């Protein structure tokens, strides 16, 4: 049975990082034995560009825009997931409601997708804006959820959408058991991923939201690494006995830090 390896791109893999190159080399050694999934808050276009520039292994699945889009072989839209999320999703009405909040600013057009509306919280605005927006969307009968991360990013996606649910969908699609799945991440919006009952690798440079959640829950199937970024993933895969412990591990410079 193949291992399902889910790796967050947002705060975990870094372009031109020695750790990223080292991880890619190690994964290439047993690529045929894993289903490789990259997951990100970014759009499919920017994600593919990052994968190409960083010379990452091509994934079996690419999950983008906070789990709202799933691509087979990294390029073919998973239509059943798209149809599922489209139920109760009215993008135009959501835009109209969100535009009423002066504390929210629209992010660039390149960050907007069919199932994700991306905004930024004004530095002077209160965090209560997030709850007020969610309350108004709920009152309007819209099937949405507001995701706040990175201290200012505000994303509106379908209610049944997040990174964790998208990863679980791929897990079921490939018929891989939770114990044969490994989650790797470091972003605040990765919490839904780590709620899955699967081994998880949280890199040491994870964002505050995720670290706070980790220390609060402290599930024994999660491992917080000593190394940051991709070097931390290698460390975690060694910890879970997925990668063999290399003789030169301590002497290899696999991190820029």
Residue 130, domain CATH? 3.90.1070.10
Among candidate residues 226, 185, 231, the one with its CA nearest the CA of residue 18: 231
Look at residue 229 in the predicted model and tell me its pLDDT: 94
Same domain, 144 and 180: no
Domain residue limits at 218: 3-82+161-251
Same domain, 116 and 206: no
Look at residue 245 in the predicted model and tell me its pLDDT: 55
Q: Does residue 32 fall inside a structural domain?
A: yes
Among candidate residues 119, 83, 80, the one with its CA nearest the CA of residue 101: 119
Q: Which of 158, 182, 213 is the C-terminal boundary of a domain?
A: 158
Same domain, 243 and 171: yes
Same domain, 92 and 168: no
Same domain, 133 and 23: no
Taking only the tens place, the pLDDT of each residue in 98-124 is 999 999 999 999 899 999 999 999 988
Q: Which of 158, 188, 216 is the C-terminal boundary of a domain?
A: 158
Q: Does residue 121 fall inside a structural domain?
A: yes
Intervals of the chain under pLDDT 70: 245-257
Same domain, 14 and 71: yes
Measured CA to CA, the distance from residue 74 to residue 78 in angstroms comes to 10
Q: How far is CA 74 from CA 32, 62, 133, 252, in A?
A: 16, 5, 33, 31
Q: Which of 122, 139, 158 is the C-terminal boundary of a domain?
A: 158
- Total domains present in the chain: 2
Look at residue 18 in the predicted model and tell me its pLDDT: 84
Among candidate residues 137, 181, 158, the one with its CA nearest the CA of residue 35: 181
Q: Does residue 257 fall inside a structural domain?
A: no
Same domain, 74 and 189: yes
Same domain, 78 and 182: yes
Same domain, 154 and 183: no
Same domain, 73 and 121: no
Q: Does residue 256 fall inside a structural domain?
A: no
Same domain, 180 and 230: yes
Measured CA to CA, the distance from residue 143 to residue 106 in angstroms comes to 21
Residue 8, domain CATH? 3.40.50.1000
Same domain, 105 and 126: yes
């Amino acid at each position: 049975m193949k291992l399902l390896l889910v790796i967050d791109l947002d705060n975990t893999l870094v372009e031109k990082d020695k750790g990223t190159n080292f991880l890619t080399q190690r994964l290439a050694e047993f690529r045929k034995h894993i289903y490789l999934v990259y997951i990100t808050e970014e759009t499919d276009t920017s994600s593919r560009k990052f994968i190409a520039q960083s010379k990452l292994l091509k994934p079996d699945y690419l999950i983008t825009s906070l789990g709202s889009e799933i691509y087979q072989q990294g390029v073919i839209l998973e239509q059943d997931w798209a149809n599922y999320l489209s139920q109760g999703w009215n993008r135009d009405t959501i835009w109209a409601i969100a535009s009423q909040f002066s504390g929210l600013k629209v992010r660039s057009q390149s960050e907007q997708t069919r199932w994700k509306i991306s905004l930024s919280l004004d530095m002077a605005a209160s965090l209560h804006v997030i709850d007020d927006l969610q309350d108004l969307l709920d009152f309007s009968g819209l099937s949405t959820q507001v995701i706040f991360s990175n201290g200012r990013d505000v994303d509106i996606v379908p209610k049944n959408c997040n990174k964790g649910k998208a990863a679980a969908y791929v897990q079921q699609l490939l018929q891989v058991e939770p114990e044969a799945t490994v989650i790797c991440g470091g972003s605040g919006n990765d919490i839904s991923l780590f709620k899955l009952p699967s081994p998880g690798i949280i890199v040491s440079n994870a964002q505050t939201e995720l670290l706070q959640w980790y220390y609060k829950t402290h599930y024994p199937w999660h491992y917080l690494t000593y190394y940051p970024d991709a070097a931390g993933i290698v460390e975690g895969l060694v910890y879970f006995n997925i990668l063999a412990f290399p003789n030169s591990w301590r002497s290899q410079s696999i991190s820029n830090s």
